[in-house]
Structure 1
């Protein structure tokens, strides 16, 4: 009897175990395998590999050598795609984008869209024209697509044509924009949700709400006719039905967004949208001996970490006058400054400045002597500073960096410097204010505590949900919002019906009262005439 009971317990224990995903084959498209997009996606890839899955990155031949030589990414497989132009021209495209950093924001946005839509669409068609590529897609259980490159949706159509059952995951490495949220079935309210690249706060006055709505319309029109249109043409040439690229994400199983509400504006999300902010954060590793000695030599004043991003680390050759401006400001500071700078100027930098071609950014931000982080406003850097509790001075240069700057100021994490107003005095005063005013450090520490008070890391959370949709699909989490027409979603037919009912009711009341009053007046008038005759 005891043996039988033990058998039942063992069987019950076996049956109660959750459904386990066997080693899945997962394809990840993170732009070209370049920059912050790849770093965010690779963090998820590392977590998936740790769980026993096989991860393959779709990567440009222009960046393959750089990634495959890095031991950190050696546990990935790579599907390398070539370009119709030499690899150095592809790398030059991204450099050109960053050379637009110090031009007017509106002009910058249009020029970036033109450059990216043309070059990246050609690359997409060149990739899909590879007859062997379609066969190499067989065997994948899931695909994670960075929405920055719409080519992923055409790859998805190839999988559909082959009737492959593949879990589809979309990821946005930036603060989400209206199209992404709407496609996921989440609501987007222009009264308190700023559109991407606007740099608006979530508490807006009338002029800002008007700006927000007009900017969103502009982004949608420009996106449809400039950014997405070339891919629609490619789809037609490949025999796919016409694709509306934003709405094509509406039936994805999962949407990952690289935000954390400890530092992000608050807005409602559908169940299939999972915040995974902090993908690139980690506990700091020890610094190299030389760098550690420089940091320790700062004494009680500490250090400032300064970068304008990988490409603008070459700013000495792009805008040498800006290097002079920053050096003048740093010379006056009591803190020491660690500056990402690839090419040194032909004059000597201040003695309190250490220039490095590459920074161990996460490790420096996690160092107890770091007092402030000054940078261009990338989303990964923002979350690393938040995680480590470092006040921020942000100089937004392009794209979503304006939005990150708005969140930094709104949350009280630091201050913004307008790029077209840069001068040595403003740089010095802003850094001094952020370091000396304890309110910024207090907020940064609170946000850091929230970031760290999580049951699992952001990459592990993303990996868990990817496994989940591989097991169960994501249809049960999908909002029905995208199944409704514009009229149905906004209840225009209901409002029209209620308006008609109210109008008809008021009309009936009006004409009934009018009829009654008219009859009463006639009867009163008739009675008066009869009375006068009898008299």
Structure 2
């Protein structure tokens, strides 16, 4: 089987000026796109389905999405232009009890509130996931009959999706929904200097001490050995109920509370965490809109409204929104920055800790440790976030800079997808470093040669100096003996 190329859409994609000259003959309207997710995609399922719907509406794409059913899978809208193929797996095929009898993946939400936040049993699902996906001959035959032009693969924990795209002989464009760092991005040839870029899941700040840089460098070396769409979405009008609530806040505005979608379970959140936030919210002059479970709150303050679901992007884009309490997933963080809303970051798992520390370093957020939450800490942090002008000014400045981007995310996605579908191999844009070992990549061989040359030169210089000093000393000694003989 011939190896087909892959292409990654990073979070901050910039297109070289040369590419428009090539895309004119690439696949155009009617491009058949296959979207492939891991066993549990979380919010990425909604993101890529929304992208698929916009590509269908604006560029004439025919989009099929393959997803796996979980206990948190959202229903597919009846009017969606994306065809969704929903799959299940047998619970006996997986370890750790992460699949129920109906074949649904069970999101381990309670596990995320422990200090060890990544369940080891999840790794054991990768093998059975691939066997089930690639072993279904009817699925493979069905997908081959569609004659797709290109695959859009959600890269996070989705080796199986990449294998399926290879089995279908499709050029692949990757979606990376987290920080662009860590072992998964090593094959993309992206350069992340360990002195300035904390690697994935390290929990390190953007400005590191020597010990932190040492730890980060060790993890980067380990990553190499083991080895985004991004864009603004304009806010839409809110429902009448939400709009009335937002307007009732008056001059003080609204604080939005939402801990995302991926692996979030309101019933798994510790009670002391809930009580601390509700108590802190009750002391604010602002109104608070919480996406949470009202059943978990014994007494809801008069200024707090709790809903099971809300249009997060639209609320962040509302002029009454003053602050955002978030888990700091990459999607939520980018939506807040795009709309100029400062954040109180409460990271829970994976890349959220590095995201929170980076945003805090930039003055766009205040980060708090979820294991050291108290009412007084939250109240102080929220008051500082709401009434310190620098937070609002910096987030608005970042939003204004973002709004200057002349290219829309959908246009950029359509461009790369059509380019990959039309030309397949995009070798002219590959970095020429695939042949290098890690020692060569970091110029350790060059450093070694230079070091040997410098040491050799230094030793030679010392030897010459020693010879000269000895000759001079011998000459002085000879002259002294001659003088004594003459006398």
Q: Same fold (TM over 0.5)?
A: yes
Q: Which residue number in structure 1 is paired with residue 127 of structure 2?
A: 121
Give distance in 2, aligned partners of 1:65 and 1:203.
38
**Which among 18, 28, 42 is matched to residue 24 of structure 2?**
18
Give distance in 2, aligned partners of 1:64 and 1:297.
33
Q: Which residue number in structure 1 is paired with residue 288 of structure 2?
A: 337
**Which among 456, 461, 464 is matched to residue 415 of structure 2?**
464
Give distance in 1, aligned partners of 2:365 and 2:40.
31
Q: Structure 1 residues 421, 357: CA separation in 2 closer, same or farther (over 3 Å shift)?
A: same
3-state DSSP class of the match of 2:81? coil
Give distance in 2, aligned partners of 1:277 and 1:511.
61
Structure 1 or 2: more helix by fraction? 1
TM-score, with length taken from structure 2: 0.84
Give distance in 2, aligned partners of 1:386 and 1:311.
20
User: Which sits farther off after the overlay, 306-315 or 467-476?
Assistant: 306-315
Matched, 1:369 2:320: yes
Q: Which residue number in structure 1 is paired with residue 230 of structure 2?
A: 277
Q: Which residue number in structure 2 is paired with residue 238 of structure 1?
A: none
Aligned counterparts, 1:105-254, within 5 A? 107-109=116-118, 112=119, 114-138=120-144, 139-148=147-156, 149-159=158-168, 164=169, 166-216=170-220, 224=226, 246=227
CA contact (8 A) 1:181 1:188 kept: no
CA contact (8 A) 2:344 2:365 kept: yes
Q: Which residue number in structure 1 is paired with residue 397 of structure 2?
A: 446
3-state DSSP class of the match of 1:483? coil
**Which among 106, 120, 135 is matched to residue 93 of structure 1?**
106
**Which among 33, 47, 51 is matched to residue 44 of structure 1?**
51
Give distance in 1, aligned partners of 2:71 and 2:151.
20
Gaps of 5+ in 1: 1-14, 225-245, 247-257, 259-275
Q: Structure 1 residues 194, 346: CA separation in 2 closer, same or farther (over 3 Å shift)?
A: closer
**Which among 438, 447, 465 is matched to residue 495 of structure 1?**
447
Q: Structure 1 residues 285, 487: CA separation in 2 closer, same or farther (over 3 Å shift)?
A: closer
Q: How many residues align?
A: 454
Give distance in 2, aligned partners of 1:379 and 1:310.
12
Give distance in 1, aligned partners of 2:75 and 2:430.
35
3-state DSSP class of the match of 2:38? coil
Q: CA deviation at 1:484?
A: 0.9
Q: Structure 1 residues 297, 491: CA separation in 2 closer, same or farther (over 3 Å shift)?
A: closer
Q: Which residue number in structure 2 is paired with residue 102 of structure 1?
A: 113
Q: Structure 1 residues 534, 150: CA separation in 2 closer, same or farther (over 3 Å shift)?
A: same
Q: Which residue number in structure 2 is paired with residue 420 of structure 1?
A: 371
Q: CA deviation at 1:477?
A: 0.8
Give distance in 2, aligned partners of 1:335 and 1:174.
31
Q: CA deviation at 1:62?
A: 4.1
CA contact (8 A) 1:199 1:405 kept: no
CA contact (8 A) 2:200 2:351 kept: yes
Q: CA deviation at 1:69?
A: 3.3
How far does the alpha carbon of each residue in 1:236-280 deviate from its partner, in whole angstroms, 9 at most, with x for none? xxxxxxxxxx4xxxxxxxxxxx3xxxxxxxxxxxxxxxxx323xx
Gaps of 5+ in 2: 1-20, 92-98
Q: Which residue number in structure 1 is paired with residue 14 of structure 2?
A: none
TM-score, with length taken from structure 1: 0.77
